[in-house]
Amino acid sequence: MSISALPADLLWSFVFAAGLLLALVLRSALLLRHMRYVAQHATQVPAPFVGHVDPAQHQQAARYTLDKARLGLIEASAGTAITIGWTLLGGLDALDRALRAWLGEGLLQQTALVAAFLVIGALLQLPLAWWRVFGVEQRHGFNRSTLAQWVGDGLKGAAVAALLGLPLLLAVLWLMEHGGHLWWLWVWALWMAFQGGLMLAYPRFIAPLFNRFEPLRDAPLLDRVQALLQRCGFRAEGVYVADGSRRSSHANAYFTGIGPSKRVVLFDTLLQRLGPDEIEAVLAHELGHARLRHIPRRLAGLALISAVALATLAWLAQQPWFYFGLGVTPQLSGGNAALALVLFMLVAPVGGLILTPLFSALSRRDEYAADAFASRHSSAAALARALLMLHRDNASTLTPDPLYARFYYSHPPALQRLARLQAAGAPT
């Protein structure tokens, strides 16, 4: 029997399994290529960084990169195995049958199915998440959180996810069952409204659950930041310092919120490492994303992708082969919304991998534009110094594999980024 003559469900099983395998092979090949390239260039500091990064720091960055890549290989293999367990090996079907036997048919059982799937998935990923923090990050001197703090953060995150996610899930499942042929359009509108509300609520109500935020008290630096905001025509609710050092020594700065809830956030680790000129330049870069409307563009892209994904789910949910081919027996009487949703969550990342290089390229384009904005409104030289220090202190590799970087990097590699800044006026 030829492949084209296979029943639709068996053909779908074959396509899905092949897609999973190809995705794993692609991820693994890129990671192995990246590891090999980083290891080959670990002993030689690139010329533009000589005098700024010493050989010992460069080698430390290589070791850190290799450890993260090894963990990435394990995560990719484990994720593939878990997906096969849920689908082709019948894990989701068994969970669905058990919950139907316990709770009967209806919205409660469907909600419980999605919630149980998410909880079990999180528990399966827990060992590798623990190792990332207390293995890789700890080994390289970046982790500062305790086990109790890490567990507490996880429990708080789960509580927030349940408080916000369960009502949303109930609404989505109800619309899938009772919203008619255009249910996906109503779910899309609900999802976008939820995202907007989350952006408003996050800085005021969610982020303070995990970090302490205090107004910036360094008066000269605050004056510089406020002058920068005014110079760029940007209004913010305030400038805050987050206690990021309680968990990690990595440094960061960002803008968060929309409308009246917009605020500037500086990690205390950033204040400890950079001078006022460098901090201003980093903030000017972040301001560039806002003023150049990168965030609205990304939200518009998210809206489009969400609409296409939900329309695709609406079609797939009506196809029996979609369920049978993934190891699930749907109910002939209906009530398969939760099954369709979970199966789509398992399938979508496989297809989404194809779009990763495109999204990475678009993100790198925006980073270059934000750098150019910062060079015009602050100092290209100060931004270049900040990037050098952050790459050095965060042990970011200066020599990523070019193909791996093109596929995955949302920010341009340091060599390319500094070359652009030097062309804008930063000293060599």
- For the segment 310-326, the average pLDDT, to the nearest whole number, is 95
The Cα–Cα gap between 379 and 376 comes to 7
Nearest to 287 by CA among 238, 254, 259: 254
pLDDT over 70, % of the chain:
96
Q: What is the DSSP string of 347-359?
A: HHHHHHGGGHHHH
Question: Over the chain, what is the mean pLDDT?
Answer: 90
Q: Which pLDDT value is given to residue 2?
A: 41
Top-ranked range on mean pLDDT: pick from 41-55, 315-329, 332-346: 315-329
Which residue of the set 286, 366, 393, 401 is catalytic? 286
Q: Which pLDDT value is given to residue 3?
A: 47
Q: What is the DSSP string of 317-344?
A: TT-HHHHHTTT----TTS--HHHHHHHH
Q: Which pLDDT value is given to residue 1?
A: 40
Is 278 annotated to bind ligand? no
CA 281 to chain centroid, in Å, comes to: 25
Nearest to 67 by CA among 142, 125, 126: 142
Q: Which pLDDT value is given to residue 246?
A: 83
For CA atoms 199, 337, 351, 17, the dihedral sign is positive
- pLDDT above 80: residue 17: yes
DSSP state, residue 5: G
All structural domains of the chain with their residue ranges: 3-202+312-358
The Cα–Cα gap between 59 and 387 comes to 18
Residue with tokens 């209806």: 106
Nearest to 76 by CA among 120, 123, 128: 128
Known catalytic residue: 286?
Answer: yes
Residues 6+ apart with CB under 8 A from 103: 109, 112
Give the range among 66-80, 113-127, 284-298 with minimum mean pLDDT.
284-298
Nearest to 276 by CA among 218, 229, 205, 193: 218
- pLDDT above 80: residue 251: no
Q: Is 265:254 a contact under the CB 8 Å cutoff?
A: yes
Known catalytic residue: 366?
Answer: no
Nearest to 67 by CA among 46, 38, 105: 38
- For the segment 306-329, the average pLDDT, to the nearest whole number, is 95
Q: Which pLDDT value is given to residue 260?
A: 60
- pLDDT above 90: residue 295: no
Residues 6+ apart with CB under 8 A from 73: 28, 31, 32
**pLDDT band at 261; cut points 50, 70, 90:** low
The Cα–Cα gap between 378 and 75 comes to 41
Which residue of the set 93, 366, 371, 393 is catalytic? 371
Residue with tokens 């994303």: 289
Q: Which pLDDT value is given to residue 349?
A: 92
Q: Which pLDDT value is given to residue 427?
A: 54
Is 250 annotated to bind ligand? no
Helix (H, G, I), strand (E, B) or coil at 328: coil
The Cα–Cα gap between 257 and 259 comes to 7
For residue 213, give the H/E element and its range.
Answer: strand 213-215
Q: How many CB atoms lie within 10 A of CB 37?
A: 19
Is 34 annotated to bind ligand? no
**pLDDT band at 107; cut points 50, 70, 90:** very high
